[in-house]
Structure 1
Amino acid sequence: MTARGVEEYAVSDRDSGPYAITTGPDGALWFTMVHSGRIGRLVPGQEPTSHRLAPDSGPTVISNGPDGALWFTEYRAHRIGRITTAGGVTEFALPTAECGPFGIAAGPDGALWFTETAADRIGRIATDGTVTEYPLSRTGAFPSAIAAAGDAMWFTMNQANAIGRIGMGGDITVHELPTEAAAPVGIAVGPDESVWFTEIAAGQIGRRAPDGRITEYPLPDRSSRPHAVTTDADGTAWFTEWGGNRVGSITCEGSVTVHELPTPASEPHGITVGPDGALWTALETGALARVLPGTPACPPPPHTET
């Protein structure tokens, strides 16, 4: 069904391309502008600000780091960047040339983990800039988004039709998806350790339960191109429909709610829980959208002994 309660805030011109978004340690929303080479910052209710990188660097996904700074991938420049809440930028070259870093997330080991889409590797960068790379067992897998869970990281393999898990020692396990050519992109881990992922080519949301079962939920609009996903404190997964101009949510029981965005063809990409408890998504056409929650919550997970 379609729900109301969406507001949009202009943060750039239409050519800058707000892409990924996260809530920083300073209580502000931080976002990448992939086309103009900037990192933006917005405190809800205030004017946006931004910090310039190289115009052709292609800042893509951004994440909180364990050191109180924000870390981001530079897809076109093949670097990892770090920006302090005061705006100081440091950039780190990667060992593998033309590797195309995309997803990035803080790991349980105090480092940042990232994907190398063009090199079929998962990378790890310590806060001092030391980089380690772990090759996948498949070529052409196009590893994309990445998220932390317990003592490991989960990531999507867009062209291998699988999701992967990498332990802190670099051991990798691959899990095939039931739907052929589903092309998973976004990934997030809920409070119950469920792994949620988007299937951009199949128009589905996938969930790997803690017991290993994978369930796929077809969306009402199978052509909506679901892209990014995050989870809230109740375990509800929120996702963007890049091709459908909507933000959606899905409970652990599979109940889906979609929210139409006010501006047509606004191209929603990244999504995060904001400092105000609402869901915020980056619109590539130059705005951030705020979506009020209101979907049913998943029940708390049962306690299990390990």
Structure 2
Amino acid sequence: MDVFTIAGSGDGPYGITAGPDGAIWCTLVHAGAIARIAPDGSVTRFDVPGDGPALITTGPGDALWFTLLRAGVVGRITNAGAVSLTPAPDAQGTYGIAATGEHVWYTSMQPDQVGRLGPDGSATVVPLPAGSMPSMLTTGADGALWCTLNQAGAIARIAPTGDITTFPLPTPDAAPVGITTGGDGAVWFVEIAAGQVGRITTDGTVTEFPLPDRAGRPHAITADPAGGCWFTEWAGNRIGHITPTGDITLHDLPVPDAEPHGITVAPDGTVWTALETGAVARLAYDRTRS
């Protein structure tokens, strides 16, 4: 596993994604900036107006889209680093982000809602249960939007019509955060307070897989195009892989107390994770070993 220092120890690398330009893009949540890591490891840093760039994804227009946690804003950054911001109506804190077609979805933790931005910047807002704290979100194989409700201990499904179905998790106070759509057509998520990975089918059937270290605090999860999902363990200082049947392989980070948060898989199959202490880690993983 390789580690690249991309920022100061207080800058807070947080969200991470593979960009449309072949580079890795990472938010610096405490520094008000976004970093681009080229394939050769060189870093370009772009300052972002506002406060707290959190999660980031590739979206419409071959651009990167991100949320500003403390500003209630959705941002867009081009491959050349040009930034534009769109206020999210009534939102005091935007966090999760996902793109589908020409639309960008985001979560607002205050008030509790998800929103959809159209190509013209107009927003459609869907209220969620008060106090539920919608966190991350993903577009499901069924065409619906799926969202973790961190404080409600549940997963929400938002249909294209706007109808909401809430699925409480079997483990109380599990506090789900990261969520992704797996190659098996199910939605996978992590339970930061319960130390588990969860899987929910489109009909609402939930399966939970306890981690070897229940105190590992899993935070983010992303689908592995080769099968299964990758996830981070913030307190465990590890990243892990889970197969569609629930087999788990863990990889310790080579630096102590690195605080891994976001995770993504690059087109070449390497796994990248953002380390809040100021770096990113890259794992070249041979799937034939597991």
Q: Deviations over 1:201-256 (max 9, x none)?
A: 00000011355321101101000000000011122110000010000011111111
Letter aligned with residue 60 of structure 1: A
Distance 1:215 1:94 in 2: 34
Which of 127, 141, 146 pairs up with 2:119? Answer: 127
Which of 1, 13, 16 pairs up with 1:21? Answer: 16
Which of 77, 90, 96 pairs up with 1:83? Answer: 77
Matches within 5 A, 1:45-194: 45-54=40-49, 57-98=51-92, 100-107=93-100, 109-136=101-128, 138-150=129-141, 151-194=143-186
Letter aligned with residue 69 of structure 1: A
What secondary structure does 1:36 align onto? coil
Letter aligned with residue 130 of structure 2: T
Distance 2:107 2:241 in 1: 25
Letter aligned with residue 52 of structure 2: G
Letter aligned with residue 169 of structure 2: L
Distance 1:97 1:213 in 2: 31
- CA shift for structure 1 position 294: 3.0
Matches within 5 A, 1:182-261: 182-261=174-253
Letter aligned with residue 70 of structure 1: L
- CA shift for structure 1 position 66: 2.1
Distance 1:12 1:115 in 2: 27
Does 1:30 pair with 2:25? yes
Determine the structure 2 residue equivalent to 1:293. Answer: 285
Distance 1:297 1:23 in 2: 24
Contact 2:91 2:108 in 1 (8 A): no
Distance 1:144 1:9 in 2: 28
TM-score of the pair, normalised by structure 2: 0.96
Distance 1:283 1:195 in 2: 25
Distance 1:89 1:285 in 2: 25
Distance 1:297 1:230 in 2: 20
Contact 2:183 2:228 in 1 (8 A): no
Change (3 A) 1:296 1:113: farther
Contact 1:192 1:210 in 2 (8 A): no
What secondary structure does 2:250 align onto? strand
Distance 1:244 1:222 in 2: 9
Distance 1:173 1:286 in 2: 39
Distance 1:62 1:129 in 2: 18
Letter aligned with residue 40 of structure 1: A
What secondary structure does 2:61 align onto? coil
Distance 1:235 1:211 in 2: 21
Determine the structure 2 residue equivalent to 1:42. Answer: 37
Determine the structure 2 residue equivalent to 1:270. Answer: 262
What secondary structure does 2:105 align onto? strand
Aligned length: 289
Change (3 A) 1:92 1:194: same
TM-score of the pair, normalised by structure 1: 0.91
Letter aligned with residue 35 of structure 2: G
- CA shift for structure 1 position 190: 0.9
Q: Deviations over 1:253-293 (max 9, x none)?
A: 11111000011000000000013211100000111101122
Q: Deviations over 1:8-42 (max 9, x none)?
A: 11111111100010011111101100000001101
- CA shift for structure 1 position 296: 6.0
- CA shift for structure 1 position 97: 4.4
Letter aligned with residue 254 of structure 1: G
Gaps of 5+ in 2: none
Change (3 A) 1:51 1:227: same
